[in-house]
């Protein structure tokens, strides 16, 4: 898939996630917002009942739930996620997702071995 990202990684940009989210009747719409050598951000819009079957990723993932509700399976354990929730998935964790209502999320994938920010404020 060679979709051009919405954001040029070399330039600052502000996006409205609500305006960029697209929904299709009985479908899932995904748009790559940003792609760098170590990260990829993808915006998803799910119509009610649509799902991603169980799969894994070699990358770390962070999912931000933007609107709606979905049933999330993490290693076989089901739970409902909703707007405002943040989910972290380590590499190789089996997961699946099914939209309970029309649902949108922002997925950020990070390649393994990329140092994370320490959160410290050293001066």
**Rounded distance, CA 9 to CA 12, Å?**
8
- How far apart (Å, rounded) are the C-alpha atoms in residues 43 and 84? 15
Given the structure tokens 């993932």, which residue do they identify? 61
pLDDT of residue 113: 58
Which among 89, 94, 88, 90 has a CA at the least distance from the CA of 56? Answer: 94
Which CATH number fits the domain 29-110, given the four candidates 2.60.120.10, 1.10.3720.10, 1.10.760.10, 3.90.1150.10?
Answer: 2.60.120.10
**Please, which residues bridge with residue 62 across strands?**
88, 108
Flag whether pLDDT at 114 surpasses 50. no
What are the residue ranges spanned by the domains of the chain?
29-110
Return the pLDDT at 4. Answer: 87
* pLDDT for the residue numbered 63: 97
pTM above 0.75, yes or no: yes
């Amino acid at each position: 898939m060679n979709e051009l990202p919405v954001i040029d990684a070399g330039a600052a940009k502000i996006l409205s996630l609500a305006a960029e989210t697209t929904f299709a009747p009985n479908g899932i719409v995904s748009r790559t917002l940003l792609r760098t050598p170590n990260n990829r951000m993808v915006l998803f819009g799910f119509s009610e009942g649509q799902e991603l079957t169980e799969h894994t990723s070699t990358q770390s993932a962070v999912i931000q739930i933007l609107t709606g509700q979905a049933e999330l399976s993490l290693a076989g354990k089901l739970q409902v996620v909703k707007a405002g929730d943040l989910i972290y998935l380590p590499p190789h964790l089996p997961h699946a997702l099914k939209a309970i209502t029309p649902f949108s999320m922002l997925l950020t994938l990070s390649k393994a071995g990329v140092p994370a920010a320490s959160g410290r404020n050293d001066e």
